[in-house]
Amino acid sequence: MCFPLNRTETVMWISTNSYSLCLFFFCSSGSNYAMSNGGGAASSTTHLLDFLEEPIPGVGTYDDFHTIDWVREKCKDRERHRKINSKKKESAWEFTKSLYDAWSGWLVVTLTGLASGALAGLIDIAADWMNDLKEGVCLSAMWFNHEQCCWTSNETTFAERDKCPQWKSWAELILGQAEGPGSYIMNYFMYIYWALSFAFLAVCLVKVFAPYACGSGIPEIKTILSGFIIRGYLGKWTLMIKTITLVLAVASGLSLGKEGPLVHVACCCGNIFSYLFPKYSKNEAKKREVLSAASAAGVSVAFGAPIGGVLFSLEEVSYYFPLKTLWRSFFAALVAAFVLRSINPFGNSRLVLFYVEYHTPWYLFELIPFILLGVFGGLWGAFFIRANIAWCRRRKSTRFGKYPVLEVILVAAITAVVAFPNPYTRQNTSELIKELFTDCGPLESSQLCQYRSQMNGSTAYTDNPNQPAEPGLYSAMWQLCLALIFKIIMTIFTFGLKVPSGLFIPSMAIGAIAGRIVGIAMEQLAYYHHDWFLFKEWCEVGADCITPGLYAMVGAAACLGGVTRMTVSLVVIVFELTGGLEYIVPLMAAVMTSKWVGDAFGREGIYEAHIRLNGYPFLDAKEEFTHTTLARDVMRPRSSDPPLAVLTQDDLTVEELQGIINETSCNGFPVIVSKESQRLVGFALRRDITIAIENARRKQEGIMLNSRVYFTQHAPTLPADSPRPLKLRSILDMSPFTVTDHTPMEIVVDIFRKLGLRQCLVTHNGRLLGIITKKDILRHMAQMANQDPESIMFN
Amino acid sequence: IELFAIEDLTSVVLCSQTFLLMQNSEDIRCKCICPPYRDVEGQIYKQNVSLKDCTCLHVVVPMPVDGKDVEAYCLRCECKYEERSSGTIKVTIIIYLSILGLLLLYMVYLTLLEPMLKRRLFGHSQLIQNDDDVVGDQQPFANAHNVLSRSHSRPNMLNKVEHAQQRWRRQVQEQRKSVFDRHVVLS
């Protein structure tokens, strides 16, 4: 049973599971929440006069860059549901309306899944094609990329799988010759030219049409899902520009991925479709349920991992995740994955380019290098977060951030110039990861599989693995090391550019390179020292013992875990990517190690760090508040501040009210009985008051500047010649949350987190003392952690 | 101006892709990869045959080894049946390039042509008027105006379009200020 919150001991009973139950009791227990706006009907105990008042248009909406009131939105939704249910038995039309209302959630989620799958297919196909455009063109069919161009050709050989006469490189087209130093320089030049033009187009489109389309999108979506409003962030133009420029950014060869932006694209689809249904468009809390499902669909099409997508939405992105959202998210993820599969972008019915399947076993002693890979992942994650945040802070605060277009062009130029000579950085990062994940077998001919055989001295690979390395393999290892260093440095400068950029693929590439290097090193160690105890126990001479592809996979998971600090969702995503149930234990060992090592250097993942950099009002549910401060240490006004701006319930005139609103910048004002008694009546929001006054001056006659404003049920007694008084009771929140000044801050922070409050009033002996807002709590937490409390920017 | 509603875009993509899923005969293939065997080099064989004919004996033609070794050779080969939809790829690329082209044209128009045209037609005063933006946050009643001022509907269609375009451009300018100038969001 839930009680009003001025009894602090009963607050302990509030838990996330009974969150909705709590609000049900609040809204229906005659506590007189007068919320006639947005919901339409009155609550059960309102009087007839309130029933006759029409709702004021615009009351109940929110300003840009403000936080929503979760309690109010949930109450509005229950009112709407009650109204529909009570009317259900009246006629067949009402019954149909109630069915439509119940099923509209599933409809929105299905449409979102369809749209996400379709757009992901478009992005994949277009990005593949444009990527290969830097190399050359397919003369017979201009819309094919390199692999598709040589699909039917019979001139491909075992050693060179992608040579065919229909595909012409730029040097062949322009100079007429395919080999030689001149054509190398021409190819180099065309590569840089295309990379720069794609990057320039991308940043210009973002700047002119939709500046919100830049960046990854996941930090902002996390903040939006916790209750923040950013108008236009999930709109039509942002969706279109993000789709188009994501393809351009990926094709320009920059060190970025498309997973984070795909989550943003999916959430835009969810937001747009939710506007078709008034159940979701008018209620911000319900809309966020749809957005949670949409983000699951986004990750599902990015990786081909529906379950991983749902877990990612649960662990990383969503703030409140009721069970109903779990089922709907799963449905959205499945629909999106199904649509993507039927578009079949890669021609092999697989969802992701690097889906590999191997079932070679791993041995216990291999846990040591796996844990070492985990340590590497954690260290790299901590280093990357620090370096990237320092660079973004410099971009934010110095003159350097004033030239975003120039910055993008410069980074793209450096990336193209350094990446072309090394074949591992020249190719698409997804293809690189696939090559690293693939284990060497008789059918592979890449440079990583060039071992010397004992049979007849040829350089071809034979049945006998664990052979000493050929010079080809040594040069591949050198190139991989250089690629690793290059990627580590460039990703720091690329994440945060003003083009859509994701982080998953570059992190996985870095981890895969490191893992493959370790795997090949272990393999050579096992060959040259096969008489060591470890190898003699488990490895037979001449048998397949170490699989470097598995090391690459574990390394990729470790690095991704180190930078984002994901746990369960990462393991499930990688497991769904590879289909290997046997590899769960090494994956978990590496991911746990990387999380522990990363947490030793700083508790935040990259997304929380970016949230803190931008100053969003995000109250993290994962951090524990362990200090012993009380509510009166945090509340405003402090002893040096001017007294709290309050409204009396029937003393003010319209002019005085407007004066109070103009002089202060508070978002809301407590309403008290009188200045002598200071007893609390309710809480009124600034936006609602201004809208109500404007509306009254327009619609009702006789409201003048010295009209009395009253929040009570009946007008106060006034002299006969006074102008008509203005009743503002309908916008008053009569059940604001209060705590006493001796409440420990741990409990106050818990209340804010679990109920999604924006402000909480502080009373002392029953009289109003002050107010605590979410911004005050965030500043207090920053102060306690010795960070800059002035960096919290928004309400 | 919103050129394409997202519903239109998605439905165009989906419809065209389902329409063009009719199989082209060139869109199926059986690919057999055969590793080196004794003194025969590694080879790749491709043929467009259907799923039931996708075996080593059908596809590896001409067979490089004789009689008894055929079975051993075929055991080492791996044959996979693959299909793709070239129609889907073609339609997708054409849709993408056309949308990109339209956006580029609109961008050139907005940044270069429109200021020139306006200057020529109306003179300098109009330009200054358009750039005068009210900073919405600091005026407490500005938002109230935005909410309640929905009744200025002029019957003229062109005026409505113009009005919508002005509103969109103001929004984009606000966004640009937040992201690029004040570095308040998305830094």
Chain B residues closer than 8 Å to A244 by CB: 96, 99-100, 103
- As a whole number of angstroms, the distance between CA A312 and CA A372 comes to 25
- As a whole number of angstroms, the distance between CA A762 and CA A773 comes to 11
Check whether B18 has a pLDDT greater than 80: no
Band (B136; pLDDT cuts 50, 70, 90) = very low
Reading the block at residue A164, the tokens are 């065919």
Q: What is the pLDDT of residue A639?
A: 82
- Backbone angle region of A720, left / alpha / beta, with phi > 0 → left and psi within -120 to 50 → alpha: alpha
Strands A668-672 and A647-648: parallel
Q: Which residue, among A128, A162, A208, A264, would best test binding to B if mutated, counting the most B CBs under 10 Å from its CB?
A: A208
**Mean predicted lDDT score pLDDT of chain A:** 85
One-letter identity of residue A38: G
Q: Percent of chain B beyond pLDDT 90?
A: 20
B33 vs A57, more confident:
B33
- As a whole number of angstroms, the distance between CA A201 and CA A729 comes to 54
Report the residue count for chain A: 795
Q: Is A244 on the interface with B (CB under 8 A)?
A: yes
Q: What is the pLDDT of residue A34?
A: 40
Reading the block at residue A443, the tokens are 């059918």
Q: Is B29 on the interface with A (CB under 8 A)?
A: yes
Check whether B152 has a pLDDT greater than 70: no
Check whether B130 has a pLDDT greater than 70: no
Of B7, B35, B107, the CB nearest to A204: B107
At A21-36, the pLDDT tens digits run 444 444 443 333 343 3
Q: What is the pLDDT of residue A53?
A: 60
Check whether B147 has a pLDDT greater than 70: no
With b for 16 or more beta-carbon neighbours within 10 A and e for fewer, the A195-204 pattern comes to: bbebbbbbbb
CA-nearest residue of chain B to A208? Answer: B107
Q: What is the pLDDT of residue A141?
A: 86
Question: The pTM is what?
Answer: 0.87
Q: What is the pLDDT of residue A200?
A: 96
Q: Percent of chain A beyond pLDDT 90?
A: 51
Domain residue ranges of chain A, discontinuous segments joined by +: 127-209, 214-240+255-346, 364-450+466-614, 631-785
Q: What is the pLDDT of residue A356?
A: 66
Write the secondary structure of A243-259 as one string of H (helix), E (strand) and C (coil): HHHHHHHHHCCCCCECH
Contact B140 A662 (CB under 8 A): yes
Chain B residues closer than 8 Å to A212 by CB: 175, 179, 185-186
CA-nearest residue of chain A to B99? Answer: A244
Q: What is the pLDDT of residue A345?
A: 58
Task: Return the CATH superfamily for domain A364-450+466-614.
Answer: Clc chloride channel (1.10.3080.10)
Report yes or no: A752 and A774 within 8 Å, Cβ to Cβ.
yes
Q: Which of A307-311, B111-115, B149-153 holds the top average pLDDT?
A: A307-311
At B41-75, the pLDDT tens digits run 888 888 888 888 888 888 888 888 888 888 888 88
Q: What is the mean pLDDT of residues A564-574?
A: 93
Q: What is the pLDDT of residue A463?
A: 46
Q: What is the pLDDT of residue A541?
A: 62
With b for 16 or more beta-carbon neighbours within 10 A and e for fewer, the A489-526 pattern comes to: ebbbbbbbbbbbbbbbbbbbbbbbbbbbbbbbebbbeb
- As a whole number of angstroms, the distance between CA A20 and CA A476 comes to 58
At A515-531, the pLDDT tens digits run 999 999 988 888 887 77
Reading the block at residue A169, the tokens are 């490189």
Band (A388; pLDDT cuts 50, 70, 90) = very high
Task: Single out the residue of A412, A429, A367, A479 nearest to residue A196, CA to CA.
Answer: A412
φ, ψ of residue B176 in degrees (nearest 5):
-65, -40
Check whether A190 has a pLDDT greater than 90: yes
- As a whole number of angstroms, the distance between CA A637 and CA A635 comes to 6
Q: What is the pLDDT of residue A512?
A: 96
Q: Is A397 on the interface with B (CB under 8 A)?
A: yes
Which ipTM value was assigned to this complex? Answer: 0.87
Contact B103 A205 (CB under 8 A): yes
At A91-114, the pLDDT tens digits run 888 899 889 888 999 999 999 999
Q: What is the mean pLDDT of residues B159-167?
A: 91
Residue A592, CA distances (Å) to A364, A510, A575, A643 in order: 17, 18, 15, 51
Chain A residues closer than 8 Å to B180 by CB: 207, 211, 404, 498
- As a whole number of angstroms, the distance between CA A237 and CA A233 comes to 9
A514 vs B149, more confident:
A514
**3-state secondary structure (DSSP) of residue A653:** strand
Nearest-CA distance B168 → chain A (Å): 10
Check whether A79 has a pLDDT greater than 60: yes
φ, ψ of residue A785 in degrees (nearest 5):
-90, 15
Check whether A118 has a pLDDT greater than 90: yes
In the block, tokens 């407007």 appear at A658
Q: What is the mean pLDDT of residues A54-65?
A: 82
- As a whole number of angstroms, the distance between CA A392 and CA A699 comes to 50
Burial class for B51, CB neighbours closer than 10 Å (0-12, 13-18, 19+): exposed
Q: Beta-carbon neighbour count of residue B52 at 10 Å?
A: 8
**3-state secondary structure (DSSP) of residue A555:** helix
A234 vs A453, more confident:
A234
Q: Which of A338-352, A571-585, A764-778 has the lowest mean pLDDT?
A: A338-352
- Chain A and chain B share a number of CB contacts under 8 A equal to 189
- As a whole number of angstroms, the distance between CA A117 and CA A338 comes to 8
Check whether B138 has a pLDDT greater than 90: no
Report yes or no: A493 and A473 within 8 Å, Cβ to Cβ.
no
With b for 16 or more beta-carbon neighbours within 10 A and e for fewer, the A581-613 pattern comes to: eebeebbbbbbbbbbebbbeeeebbbbbbbbbb
Contact B99 A687 (CB under 8 A): no
Domain residue ranges of chain B, discontinuous segments joined by +: 1-21+88-116, 29-83
- As a whole number of angstroms, the distance between CA B167 and CA A3 comes to 47
Band (B145; pLDDT cuts 50, 70, 90) = very low
Check whether A727 has a pLDDT greater than 70: yes
Q: What is the mean pLDDT of residues A708-717?
A: 86
Q: Please give the CATH number for the structural domain made up of A631-785.
A: 3.10.580.20
